[in-house]
């Protein structure tokens, strides 16, 4: 019952978000509240649209890859390429991130499909947390943003890898059952149209039809969480008093905690967050900047909603705690010994 209520409420909220999005694109006046000024409204439009435009191409790419995996790649093929050793499995997941440079928005649908195809959970999660960071595009963006301090770019890659190893080993040790919300049978069953089941049929045309059905279903399923997360993120950014928050970001621990919260709220793409972090070089320590650069791509508000759409709530809570503790501990250690 709670799960049904949650899904129903998400559909309603998504419809409201899509309505607001349509009003913005049509350049119509949005419903106004007393707390909204013209400046707030314009800022909301800008932030909301920018987040969506950043994420939608990666969502679309992830959905296409996910549907290709579902339609054309067998479970035996996936299992044949996955190492049995956990350390080698973690390294394999990091290499996947290098080969498929996507942000977390695009990876989540791909990872769900890989788990359903037989990939172990710990390898799939390592792919989620490292893929948005350990890839050539993000490294180049970070290097450009910190041209006067290039060690930040190398430290970001190393810190992300260390956190991934910790998370992967913990999940390998303690997670034995599937954390997915929906079973494999649900995705394997043919889709119903007008109350009737329509099998995909054989041959290439049947597989092509299955590909488009899966792609459209996943795009709209993931899209509603993306739109809702973008809406809330834009609202939080508008009303957040950044000057007062910066005042608490000067301590050795509070600066790290602040930058973690800041990264979670901003929900930036990993290819652009380095340029935001570079603007804080004179105010924050290198360690806290690394916390921002590693924690944000691994876990932010937008991706949390998308993770909840795929994984069970308890697993998302466990993963969130693991990421937060691991990033904080590793960044503090790195700052202490460098």
pLDDT tens track for 197-213:
444 445 677 777 777 77
- How many independent structural domains does the chain possess? 1
Name the residue with higher pLDDT: 228 or 111.
Answer: 111
pLDDT at 195 over 50: no
Length of the chain: 338
Q: Residue 281 falls within a domain, yes or no? A: yes
Report pLDDT for 2.
46
Whether residue 29 lies inside any domain: the answer is no
Arithmetic mean of pLDDT, 275-304: 86
Mean pLDDT of the chain: 76
Question: Is 329 inside any structural domain?
Answer: yes
Kindly report, residue by residue over 64-119, the tens digit of the pLDDT. 776 776 677 666 776 778 888 889 999 988 888 777 666 666 678 778 888 888 88
Q: Is 125 within the bounds of a domain? A: yes
Q: Quote the pLDDT of residue 198.
A: 44
Please list, in sequence order, all residues whose beta carbon lies within 8 angstroms of the beta carbon of residue 107, skipping any fewer than 6 positions away. Answer: 62, 100, 127, 128, 131, 132
Per-residue confidence band for 218, with pLDDT thresholds at 50, 70 and 90: low
Q: What is the pLDDT of residue 82?
A: 84
Distances (CA, A) of 303 to 103, 106, 186, 269: 10, 10, 23, 11
Q: Is 175 within a domain?
A: yes
Which residues sit opposite 197 in a β-bridge?
192
Chain CA centroid to CA 62, Å:
11
Residue 284 lies in a domain: yes
């Amino acid at each position: 019952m709670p799960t049904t209520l949650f899904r129903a409420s998400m559909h309603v909220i998504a419809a409201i978000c899509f309505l607001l999005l349509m009003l913005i694109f049509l350049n119509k006046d949005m419903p106004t509240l007393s707390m909204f000024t013209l400046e707030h409204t314009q800022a909301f439009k800008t932030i909301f649209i920018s987040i969506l435009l950043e994420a939608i191409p990666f969502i679309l790419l992830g959905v296409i890859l996910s549907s290709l995996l579902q339609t054309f790649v067998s479970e035996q093929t996936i299992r044949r390429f996955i190492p049995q050793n956990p350390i080698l499995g973690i390294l394999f997941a990091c290499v996947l991130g290098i080969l498929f440079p996507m942000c977390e928005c695009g990876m989540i649908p791909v990872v769900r499909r890989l788990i359903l195809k037989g990939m172990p959970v710990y390898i799939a999660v390592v792919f989620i947390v490292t893929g948005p960071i350990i890839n050539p595009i993000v490294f180049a963006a970070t290097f450009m943003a910190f041209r006067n301090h290039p060690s930040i770019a190398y430290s970001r890659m190393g810190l992300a890898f260390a956190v991934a190893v910790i998370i992967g080993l913990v999940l390998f040790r303690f997670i034995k059952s599937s954390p997915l919300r929906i079973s494999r049978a649900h995705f394997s069953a043919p889709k119903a149209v007008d109350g009737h089941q329509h099998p995909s049929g054989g041959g290439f045309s049947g597989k092509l039809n299955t590909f488009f059905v899966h792609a459209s279903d996943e795009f709209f399923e993931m899209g509603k969480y993306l739109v809702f997360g973008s809406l809330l993120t834009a609202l939080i950014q508008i009303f957040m008093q950044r000057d007062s928050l910066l005042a608490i970001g000067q301590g050795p621990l509070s600066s790290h905690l602040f930058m973690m919260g800041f990264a979670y709220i901003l929900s930036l793409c990993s290819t652009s967050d380095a340029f935001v972090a570079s603007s804080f070089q004179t105010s924050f320590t290198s360690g806290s900047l690394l916390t921002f650069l590693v924690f944000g791509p691994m876990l932010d508000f937008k991706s949390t909603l998308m993770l909840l759409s795929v994984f069970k709530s308890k697993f998302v809570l466990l993963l969130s705690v693991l990421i937060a503790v691991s990033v904080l501990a590793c960044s503090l250690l790195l700052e202490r010994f460098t």
